[in-house]
Amino acid sequence: MRHLVTRTCALAAIAVGFATGGPTGAAEGPSTGKVQPADDMVLNYHLMHPGGPSLPGDVNAAYYLDGVYHLHYILAHPWKDKGSFSFIHVTSPDMLHWTWQATKLQPSFTGHGMFSGTGFLTKEGKPAAIYHGQGSGRNQIAVAKDRGLSAWEKPYPVDVRNADGTEAKINHWDPDCFLIGDTYYAISGGTNPPLMKSKDLKTWTYVGPFLHHDTPDVAVGEDISCPNFFKIGDKWMLLCISHNLGCRYYLGDWDAKAEQFVPEKQGRMNFRREDQNLFGPPWRVDFFAPESVLTPDGRRVMWAWLACLGKDDGTMDDRTIESLPRELSLPADGVLRIRPLRELEALRRDQAAQHDVTIDRPTGDVRAKAAPAGKVLTTLPGDSAEIRITVARDQAERKLFGFVLFGGPSGGGLPVLLRPENGTLRVGTAEAPFSVADLPPGEDLTLRIFVDKYLVEVFANDRQAMIASYADYRGKATLTGFTVGSPTTIKTLETWRLEPTNQGFLEARKSRVWEPGRD
């Protein structure tokens, strides 16, 4: 409960700030609603809120309906001289080019604020959303009146009863709803979420704890919030967060007889930076509040809110930037694959390729605390680019080597570094588990690096993904390489300029069609 109370208090503080003019609702914050991000802060192809400060930015309620992708994210805003929260609605044909729609799920309609939940389809194929109604004390369900989500039926609370008809005493927080057979199941956030079931979304019966057990690598006290439960490969996946440690997932089986999820392993998607507090406060998270959707061709695609992007003081980023869409899959080897959305390839322009490029001067100063100057490999084609680097297996094994973005003649910049001595991929000052030695025999190392001005996302062999930001990016378009101990030859180095997809952002910044009502 401590984590849930912490988050509740943090969000409540945002609402209080509207009325007090305090730091969370200061004069230049959401209380005025007119501040715009500076042009050099506007990203090219990441989804970003077109207004001013907009904390929190949890991704919510994703659908694919009749050829259109729908996504929502939370926006804090003034309401009745205080503050509340709405679901901002965006649509896209490809999960990259977004258009902002008028906000329908807002407190002037629902009677309460919108906290996290998920979207799902009813048995009849109607879009529906389950979420926590801020200030209502209950999780809520709303059903759309049409498949364009232009109007919704009034939401109603999820009333959970025990088998004897008495009210179930459960925690109401970040819910998820999913169908198994002809039964709706829902979970509500907590250290072990309560599970409930229904045949009609109206009459709910408490089942018991959702998890059969927890895994040994989950710290005592980690909560399960922003949950999203779905089938992937021949397993079930629970995508979620813990508030202290960010986005994570479980893989396991559904025990139909016991009506429980039996987790087999847990994996992290968020990795602490060195400049983030080790012990608290709880907001030392960059990759946070995930949501996913199933595409018509069967891909599971997820997003996450980049909640602490570039922040190292225990506060959260108020720009509301969402991650690149990531495709998740689980092949027969049981290792989760995480790859960038394939539609990104349609944005590529001006390909340049080099082959057999050798970094032939190993750095001698392994004590350096900043990235070495290295060898200049290429100049990026602008501030919106993709880089794909392939290093042959025999060149990558047991090598301490890497690449640096935004560096200068004397070094510095953002490193992307392979560390065989501890089996990690380092991006900036964060490290995540990844080792060339763990790849199948004969598989080369492949890095895909996406640069969007100051925001960088790195994908390694579709098995690991990381994010970083680098504020001092302007005018620094070089990519350098360095190696320790012996030379390293790059098999292929490819770069592309990526076309911007932010036309809808620019339009919405002017039209403010998304702006919720204040009354």
Report which listed range, 18-27, 281-290, 406-415, 475-484, is most confident.
Answer: 475-484
Question: Which pLDDT tens digit goes with each residue over 95-119?
Answer: 999 999 999 999 999 999 999 999 9
Mean pLDDT of the chain: 91
Work out the average pLDDT over 417-426: 97
Q: Which of 21-35, 123-137, 189-203, 496-510 has the lowest mean pLDDT?
A: 21-35
* Distance of alpha carbon 242 from alpha carbon 235, whole angstroms: 21
- pLDDT over 60 (residue 13): no
- pLDDT at 1 (0 to 100): 33
What is the mean pLDDT of the segment spanning 322-348? 98
How does residue 282 score in pLDDT terms, banded at 50, 70 and 90? low
Contact 290, 228 (CB under 8 A): yes
Bigger pLDDT: 55 or 404?
A: 404
CA distance 101 to 85: 16
In the chain, pLDDT over 70 holds for what percent of residues? 92
Please tell me the predicted confidence (pLDDT) of residue 17. Answer: 40
Residues 511, 32: Cα–Cα separation, whole Å: 16
Smallest CA-to-CA distance from 452 within 507, 513, 370, 380 is with 380
Four-CA torsion 499, 505, 507, 513, nearest 10 degrees: 160
- pLDDT the model gives residue 3: 35
Q: How far is CA 84 from CA 36, 340, 356, 518, in A?
A: 20, 34, 56, 9
- pLDDT over threshold 50, residue 27: no
CA distances from 466 to 177, 207, 304, 417, 426 (A): 28, 37, 12, 12, 9
Where are the domains positioned within the chain?
Answer: 2-32+49-321, 343-498
CATH number of the domain located at residue range(s) 2-32+49-321 in this protein:
2.115.10.20
| pLDDT per residue as tens digits for the range 360-389 | 877 755 566 778 888 999 999 999 999 999
| Spatial contact of 498 and 351, defined as CB atoms under 8 Å apart | no
* Least confident window among 4-8, 239-243, 411-415: 4-8
What is the pLDDT at residue 33? 52
pLDDT in tens, 114-160: 999 999 999 999 999 999 999 999 999 999 999 999 999 999 999 99
What is the pLDDT, as a whole number, of residue 15?
43
Query: Starting at the edge strand that comes first in sequence, how are the strands of the sheet with 127-134 ordered?
Result: 113-121, 127-134, 138-143, 156-157
Same fold, 2-32+49-321 and 343-498: no
Mean pLDDT of 42-65: 95
- Name the residue with higher pLDDT: 310 or 241: 241
Structural tokens at position 312: 């190292």
- Residue 26's nearest CA partner among 15, 37, 35, 18 is 18
**How far apart (Å, rounded) are the C-alpha atoms in residues 512 and 62?**
22
Residues 48, 342: Cα–Cα separation, whole Å = 20
Yes or no: domain 343-498 corresponds to CATH 3.40.50.720: no
Question: How confident is the model at residue 55, as a pLDDT?
Answer: 87
**Residues 196-222: tens digit of each pLDDT:** 999 999 999 999 999 999 999 999 989
Q: How far apart are CA 97 and CA 369, in angstroms?
A: 40
Rounded CA separation 396/391 (Å):
6
The whole-number average pLDDT for the span 74-84 is 94
Q: How confident is the model at residue 20 (pLDDT cuts 50, 70, 90)?
A: very low
Phi, psi (deg, nearest 5) at residue 96: -130, -45
Q: How many other CB atoms sit within 10 Å of the CB of residue 398?
A: 12
Question: What mean pLDDT is predicted for residues 268-288?
Answer: 84
Residues in Cβ contact with 4 at an 8 Å cutoff, skipping those fewer than 6 apart: 171, 173, 189, 190, 223, 225, 243
Whole-number Å distance between alpha carbons of 128 and 55: 24
Q: How confident is the model over 260-274, as a mean pLDDT?
A: 96
pLDDT at 367 (0 to 100):
62
Q: Which of 275, 222, 283, 278 is nearest to 14 (CA)?
A: 283
Work out the pLDDT band at 40, boundaries 50, 70, 90: confident
Q: State yes or no: pLDDT of 32 exceeds 70.
A: no
pLDDT for 12 equals: 40
Question: What six digits make up the tokens of 307?
Answer: 């909640």
Average pLDDT over residues 286-310: 96
The strand pair at 204-209 and 160-161 is best described as parallel
Q: Which strands, in side-by-side order, build the sheet including 183-188?
A: 160-161, 204-209, 194-198, 183-188, 175-180
Q: Which two tokens stand for residue 181?
A: 């057979």
Q: What is the DSSP letter of 319?
A: S
For residue 519, what pLDDT band results from cuts at 50, 70 and 90?
A: confident
Share of the chain above pLDDT 90, in %: 81
Least confident of 13-27, 29-43, 96-110, 235-249: 13-27
**Is the pLDDT at 431 greater than 50, yes or no?**
yes
Of residues 366 and 476, which shows the higher confidence score? 476
Look up residue 291 and give its amino acid.
Answer: E
pLDDT of 281 reads 61
Residue partners of 39: CB distance under 8 A and separation at least 6: none
Q: Are 284 and 277 in contact (CB under 8 A)?
A: yes
End-to-end alpha carbon distance in the chain: 33
